[in-house]
Amino acid sequence: MRKMKKFLNVAISTIMVASILTGCGGKKDNQANQTQTPSGTNSSANGEQGEQKKELDLTKKPVLKVLLPYTGIDPQTDFTAVYLEEATGYKVEYYMLPSEDSISKLNTIIASKEEYDIMVLNKNDFDNTVDTGAYQPLNDLLDQYAPNVREKTSEGLWTNVTIEGEVKGIPESLANENYGLVYRVRLDLLKKAGIDKMPETTDEFYNACKAMKDQLGIIPITASYAVIPEIASAFGMYTKFNVVDNQVLYQALVPGAKDYVEFMRKLFEEGLLDSEYAQNSGDMMKEKFFSNKAAMYQTAWWNEPTASNTIMEKAPEAELAYLQALKSADGTTGLPMGRGVNRVTVIPKVSKNKEYALDYINTKLSDDIFKMASMGEENVHYKVAGDSFEPILPKFFDDKNNAHYYMMGSDTKAYSKYWESTRVKKDPILYAEFSAIQENAAKATLYYDPTSYMQDRKSVV
């Protein structure tokens, strides 16, 4: 037991302290509530001031090297990749970050000055590397080579990538604001253990976990993150940063954080929280849930329909539901809601093709190419339905399932409509689970991270 206590102390404390360091070491001095994108800082491709626009020879377009987040597809041969090469005239060589611990690989690439022309990063990786100085300021370059990016990106998104007045990347908006990550529960196992309703408080949650362990001999909850939003809700830890008494505090410093750690310790020591908590990967959690070894795990609507199909294949008797945000002592609940940026496209300073890279991104955002890349061909991949669109299945799913992967910035307004009309409806199971997750999240108060529009992140504690 002493070893387990020591392990939990180290696992939770280390992860939370590490989160503090990376959280406070990310972007800073973002321009809050700005209504215009920063421009006129005279940042050029070489970092020199006042350099005039260079004329590009578009008859001799270079091959562009692009680094992307991990995906399980071959990025070179996908339908959308082939289309974009034909439509833009640019040949692109795609490379991927690893599926696990992408930040370590990215740091190695930056330190070694490995040459890429474009990097598409998830928001956390961008935040944790933007201060390295590896990314080209884009203020003037966007005006000169990528006017479509300026015109079609929602104004409010630029604060996410603007550091001390310099635009360090191109923000890519979530199609619309929605709740994504959630804990899925085997409701049939709860019932089998004698629990007839979804837990709503920490006491009910503890009792449900204990009943499943004692009576069924399974892991009640498997996890891989220090903070589980549905549980943290009961302790006032709603987002990565929280407003407490007019101060913006990191979640590990809010008044309820100590009690959260104690509650998690209790779950761990009694075998109610997966003993491999600190070592788990997403695949390990899925394996435990799919093989009936665990009753709860974290998933997301974009894992559908694979997630539902897999569990129903392995356990046809399964009844599935989503864990609600647990209530605090005064009955309040809260969950984090993203401000709208999930990826950022950057141009590394080491690139020799900065201007061509931006021309490529600009071309992709022209109306016809962006629409075709996003939805495919009318009456082949989708059909017009009034003022909306409907996917033609299975053709849309077969050819356009991975289209979003190739986005480097977005026509924010247009893509929101494309996404709602086609992408989330491309599979009936995906749409059903997406809707169920939104309904479940709506039972709680949804909080934005207050730092996402702050002018001065140095005021964060």
What pLDDT score was predicted for residue 30?
36
| Angle value at C-alpha 228, between 223 and 230, nearest 5 degrees | 125
Q: Considering only CA atoms, which of 346, 431, 14, 429 is closest in space to residue 172?
A: 346
Q: What is the mean pLDDT of residues 206-234?
A: 95
Position 48 pLDDT exceeds 70: no
Q: What is the mean pLDDT of residues 213-238?
A: 94
Sorting pLDDT into bands at 50, 70 and 90, what band is 323? very high
What pLDDT score was predicted for residue 15?
46
Share of the chain above pLDDT 90, in %: 66
386 contact partners, CB below 8 Å, separation of at least 6: none
Residue 300 pairs with which residues in a beta bridge? Answer: 181
pLDDT, greater one: 81 or 448: 81
CA distance 288 to 290: 6
Position 373 pLDDT exceeds 60: yes
What pLDDT score was predicted for residue 40?
47
Lookup result for tokens 């990786």: 125
Q: What is the mean pLDDT of residues 422-442?
A: 88
Q: What is the mean pLDDT of residues 25-41?
A: 39
Sorting pLDDT into bands at 50, 70 and 90, what band is 339? low
What pLDDT score was predicted for residue 12?
54
64-175+339-414: CATH number: 3.40.190.10
What pLDDT score was predicted for residue 228?
95
Position 46 pLDDT exceeds 60: no
For residue 118, report the phi and psi dihedrals to the nearest 5 degrees.
Answer: -140, 140
Sorting pLDDT into bands at 50, 70 and 90, what band is 44? very low
CA distance 353 to 342: 25
Position 55 pLDDT exceeds 50: yes
pTM metric for this prediction: 0.65
69 neighbors 118 (Cβ within 8 angstroms): no
What pLDDT score was predicted for residue 425?
81
Q: What is the mean pLDDT of residues 388-415?
A: 92
What pLDDT score was predicted for residue 6?
45
Least confident of 77-91, 167-181, 257-271, 369-383: 167-181
Sorting pLDDT into bands at 50, 70 and 90, what band is 13? low
334 neighbors 236 (Cβ within 8 angstroms): yes
Identical fold between 2-25+178-336+430-459 and 64-175+339-414: yes
Position 28 pLDDT exceeds 80: no
Position 179 pLDDT exceeds 90: no
Least confident of 240-254, 399-413, 414-428: 414-428
Sorting pLDDT into bands at 50, 70 and 90, what band is 51? low
What pLDDT score was predicted for residue 175?
66
* Structural domain 2-25+178-336+430-459, CATH architecture: 3-Layer(aba) Sandwich (3.40)
pLDDT, greater one: 265 or 33: 265
Alpha helices in 184-341 (DSSP H): 187-192, 202-216, 229-232, 257-269, 282-290, 306-314
Lookup result for tokens 């009792």: 207
What pLDDT score was predicted for residue 41?
43
Mean confidence (pLDDT) of the chain: 87
Q: Three-state DSSP class for 228?
A: coil
Instruction: Indicate the domain borders of the chain.
Output: 2-25+178-336+430-459, 64-175+339-414
